[in-house]
C-alpha cells in the first residue's frame, strides 16, 4: 500500500497558497526524500508546442534535457500510452535519452487530467539497476494521481 504520509504531504503542498515554482520544488524534494532516490523531476507536457518542459527537479544536478520534443525518450512512450514506463536497465533500452552518464534505471509516470489526457510527468532516476520495484512504482503512480491537482491549479 502506498505511503500515506507522502501522499498527505503532496496533498498539503498542492493545497498551499504559494506560487507554482515553490510548490513544484517542494513536491520533488518530498518525493526524492521518501524514496531516497538520486533524482526526481516533474515536467509539463505542452501538446501545442509539442514539448515536455521541466518545472522542478531535486537531486544530483539539473536535467540534461530541460525541454525536449514529446516524441523523444522514455517520456514519449509514457505520454503515448498514458502509462508508466519503468526501465530497470536504461542501457538495454534504445529509447532512453541520457539523463546522467551514471543513470542505470529510470521510471516515468504520466500525470493524467481526468484519467485520460497527459498534462505532466513524474520522472525518477537512479544509479542502481532495477531501482523501482512494484512498491516503488505503486507509490509513484499514486503520487501522480495526487499531483493532478497541482496541474489543475496551475493551468
Cβ neighbours, 10 Å, residue 4: 10
Measured CA to CA, the distance from residue 121 to residue 75 in angstroms comes to: 8
- Residues with Cβ < 8 Å from 105, sequence gap 6 or more? 87, 88, 89, 90, 125, 126, 128, 129, 130, 131, 132
Whole-model pTM?
A: 0.93
Structure confidence by residue, pLDDT tens digits, 15-51: 999 999 999 999 999 999 998 899 999 999 999 999 9
Pairing of strands 51-59, 39-46: antiparallel
Measured CA to CA, the distance from residue 73 to residue 148 in angstroms comes to: 22
Structure confidence by residue, pLDDT tens digits, 86-110: 999 999 988 888 877 888 999 999 9
Amino acid at each position: 500500500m502506498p505511503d500515506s504520509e507522502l501522499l498527505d504531504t503532496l496533498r498539503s503542498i498542492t493545497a498551499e497558497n504559494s506560487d507554482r515554482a515553490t510548490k513544484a520544488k517542494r513536491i520533488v524534494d518530498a518525493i526524492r526524500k521518501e524514496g531516497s532516490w538520486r533524482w526526481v523531476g516533474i515536467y509539463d507536457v505542452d501538446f501545442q508546442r509539442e514539448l515536455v518542459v521541466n518545472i522542478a527537479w531535486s537531486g544530483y544536478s539539473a536535467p540534461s534535457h530541460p525541454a525536449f520534443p514529446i516524441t523523444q525518450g522514455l517520456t514519449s512512450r509514457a505520454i503515448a500510452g498514458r502509462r508508466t514506463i519503468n526501465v530497470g536497465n536504461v542501457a538495454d533500452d534504445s529509447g532512453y535519452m541520457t539523463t546522467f552518464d551514471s543513470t542505470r534505471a529510470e521510471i516515468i509516470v504520466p500525470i493524467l487530467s481526468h484519467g485520460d489526457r497527459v498534462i505532466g510527468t513524474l520522472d525518477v532516476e537512479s544509479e542502481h539497476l532495477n531501482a523501482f520495484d512494484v512498491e516503488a512504482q505503486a507509490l509513484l503512480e499514486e503520487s501522480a494521481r495526487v499531483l493532478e491537482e497541482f496541474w489543475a491549479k496551475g493551468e
